[in-house]
Chain A
Amino acid sequence: MYDVAVIGAGVTGGLIARKLTSYKLNICILEAENDVGCGASSANSAIVHAGFDAKPGTLKARFNVEGSRMMERVCAELGVKYKRNGSLVIGFSEEDRKTLGELLERGRKNGVEGLYIAGGDEVRALEPELSGDVTCALVAPTGAIICPYELAVSAAGNAMDNGAELMLNFRVSSVTVTPDGFSVGAEDGRRVAARRVINCAGVYADRVAATCGDDSFRIRPRRGEYMLLDKSAGGMCSHTVFRTPTAMGKGILITPTVDGNLLLGPTSEDIDDKDDLSVTRGGLERIAEQVKREMPRVDTGAVITSFCGLRAVGNTGDFIINEPLRGFVNVAAIESPGLTSSPAIAEYVAEILENSGLKMENNGKYDPEHRPLHWFRELGDSEKNEVIARDPSYGRVVCRCEGVTEGEILYAISQNPRPSDLDGVKRRTRAQMGRCQGGFCSPYIVKILSDRLGIPFEAVTKSGGGSYINVGRTK
């Protein structure tokens, strides 16, 4: 019997589980996929929003500003790349300027610090590559960028280091009420008993809630397509550049990533299929068109990959965080600014559990620190040489594009949560994430995984399930 079962190991679920491991509680995390952070957590804008966007008084506004203030510390504790690069909302017209004025007002009401509106030349001094047509911008110095999948991995990893259990490929099919709590069933027949259940199931949160009788909300996926450009284009801008929102939505953003690439997107399209992660020709063309207007010299030909994320959009317009029946907590519709809000949401959920009568006593041994997955890269040459002298695998480069060594891959495989597929290694080490996209290194990583996990070469997958790489021996 667990005290709490957290359904979903995205950023939100991971940070909630991590928070709960600081108490004398028995925690398990139930994840539908073969790894943590596979959903919206690894396909989003990787932005820490300043907080001027959300309507004052909403949960979004509250947690955005709180989360934005907490995020730097959380990232430092968890060893996640974070950079406060500031953000700009650019405008092209008087009408835009008026909207920016409203955003500024809203931001101040929400408690966002340092906001101001700059003229066209002033903003081009900040970002010289911006189009000459830009006439104004809202400047938000507290905007930041982070590595979201690293946050998901490290949050779950830190929770596990502090005692939480992770069950992968656990696709929840039912949550039923039992005399002392809940029984959570998986499609494959596994069952987990828990006193409390936290529903962080992303786009599936409505289905999970419905299995225990709560049909009070709906989640509709909103498709967001992105293009990731080569590091050669990474220097085009240093701020995150948003377009002034219109009735048509927030538009395409241009942002550097913490790893030095340039990220363009997202498109925004409400769809019905909760699994449809396809990228469309129209979407990519829209991105390229809009970016051209904002920053004409960005070369979308430098794209190294395009991808799609599904934002879990609820039918209430706000985050849906409630306790429809005692002990069952929805943490649903965590769409933008969900990533930013996640640390604050974790604190809030702990409060909800306490109010629900769960005994929350600090366990006194909780360690919030998690060694960065990328610790080796941060070392100077002479320190690296000391590491290599002790463990020569750190001298063998496996991924030549991103310069990832065998030692770093083996380290990632040895750490909670242990990856067992190619995408898992990619999220943790950046191997396969460079310009050749794994062309050279993926066969080596398959071999490493096969050796380390003790499974046949052909049993290694891209992302679990039926995503096999090889069908078997040639002969």
Chain B
Amino acid sequence: MKRNITCIICPRGCEMEAELTGGGVSVSGFGCARGRQYAENELIRPVRTLTTTVVLRDGSVIPVRTDRPVPKERMFDCMEAVRGVKELPDCSPGSVVIADVCGTGADLIVD
């Protein structure tokens, strides 16, 4: 069955069509290779980059993100994990807050 997919990679928001075929995924309407990849993932295993904040015990708020997209259905699990972070030895950009957050393979890092 064909699915309409709006690309989220860039502001153009290409409207694509994707379908699971015997050998993989057939995609049309993409504007670039990243878009095509996105459509394939949407059919097989949708992923999203999670961005949020950690709130430290002293009240400071640090923006954090996963260093690669995580499975879409794990976003709320990751949010739960972030909730537990109350101390950060290193707040410099890129430093790891939680390695392999929720077993997704992605590290949660400081923006």
Chain A residues proximal to chain B, CB less than 8 Å:
473-475
- Chain A contacts for B54, CB-based, 8 A: 475
> Chain A residues with Cβ under 8 A from B61's Cβ?
474
CB distance from A451 to the nearest CB of B (A): 12
Considering the complex, give the chain B residue whose CB is closest to the CB of A457: B59
Residues of B within 8 A of A473 (CB): 55
Contacts of A474 in B (CB 8 A): 53, 55, 61
B residues adjacent to A (C-beta < 8 A): 53-55, 61, 82-83
Cross-chain pairs A/B with CB under 8 angstroms, 9 sampled: A473-B55, A474-B53, A474-B55, A474-B61, A475-B53, A475-B54, A475-B55, A475-B82, A475-B83
Mostly helix, strand, loop or mixed at chain B's interface?
strand
Nearest 5 CB-CB pairings of A with B: A475-B55, A475-B83, A473-B55, A474-B55, A474-B53
Q: How far is the CA of A475 from the CA of B83 in the complex (A)?
A: 6
- Distance (whole angstroms) from the CB of A446 to the closest CB of chain B: 14
Determine the main DSSP class of A at the interface with B.
loop
Q: How far is the CA of A474 from the CA of B55 in the complex (A)?
A: 8
Taken together as a complex, chains A and B put the C-alpha atoms of A162 and B47 apart, in Å, by 67
Alpha-carbon distance between A473 and B54 when the two chains are bound, in angstroms: 11
A474 to B79, alpha carbons, bound, how many Å? 11
In the docked arrangement, what's the CA distance between A474 and B82, Å?
Answer: 11
B53 to chain A, nearest CB (A): 7
Residues of chain A with a CB closer than 8 A to B83's CB: 475
Query: What is the CB-to-nearest-CB distance from A449 to chain B, in angstroms, rounded to a whole number?
Result: 16
Shortest distance in angstroms between A159's beta carbon and chain B's nearest beta carbon? 39
Within the complex, what minimum Cβ distance (angstroms) separates B56 from chain A? Answer: 10
| Cα distance, A475 to B53, chains bound together (Å) | 9
In the complex, what distance in Å separates the CA atom of A473 from the CA atom of B83? 11
Docked complex Cα distance between A82 and B61 (Å): 45
**How far is A219 from B59 in the complex, measured between Cα atoms in Å?**
49
Name the residue of chain A whose CB is nearest to the CB of B55.
A475
Min distance, Cβ A454 to any Cβ of chain B, angstroms: 15
**CB-nearest residue of chain A to B86:** A475
Chain A contacts of B82 at CB under 8 A?
A: 475
A198 CA to B102 CA, complexed, in Å: 67
| B91 shortest CB reach to chain A, Å | 16
* Given A473-B55, A474-B53, A475-B54, 6 further pairs, Cβ under 8 A: A474-B55, A474-B61, A475-B53, A475-B55, A475-B82, A475-B83
Nearest CB of B to A447, in Å: 11
The chain A residue sitting closest to B61, CB to CB, is: A474
Complex CA gap A474/B60 in Å reads 12
Q: Which residue of B lies closest to A474 (CB)?
A: B55
User: Could you tell me the distance in whole angstroms from the C-beta of B105 to the nearest C-beta in chain A?
Assistant: 23
Q: Measured between C-beta atoms, what is the minimum distance from B26 to chain A in Å?
A: 42
**Smallest Cβ distance from A71 to chain B, in angstroms?**
48
Q: What's the Cα separation between A474 and B54 when bound, in Å?
A: 9
Within the assembled complex, what's the spacing in Å between the Cα atoms of A255 and B83?
Answer: 53
- Tell me how far the C-beta of B85 lies from the nearest C-beta in chain A, rounded to whole angstroms: 8
Chain A residues with CB under 8 Å of B55's CB are: 473-475
Residue of A nearest to B84 (CB): A475
A474 CA to B56 CA, complexed, in Å: 11
Cα separation A418 to B55 with both chains bound (whole Å): 32
The distance in angstroms between the C-alpha atoms of A473 and B61, with both chains bound, is 10
Interchain CA distance A345-B54 in the complex, whole Å: 58
Alpha-carbon distance A475/B61, docked complex (angstroms): 10
Least distance between A236 CB and chain B CB atoms (Å):
41
By a CB distance below 8 angstroms, the chain A residues around B53 are: 474-475
A470 CB, nearest partner CB in chain B, Å: 13
CB distance from A322 to the nearest CB of B (A): 56
CB distance from A465 to the nearest CB of B (A): 26
A400 to B55, CA, bound (A): 28
Tell me the smallest distance from the CB of A456 to a CB of chain B, in Å: 10
* C-alpha gap A208/B54 in the complex (Å): 51
A287 CB to closest chain B CB (Å) equals 41
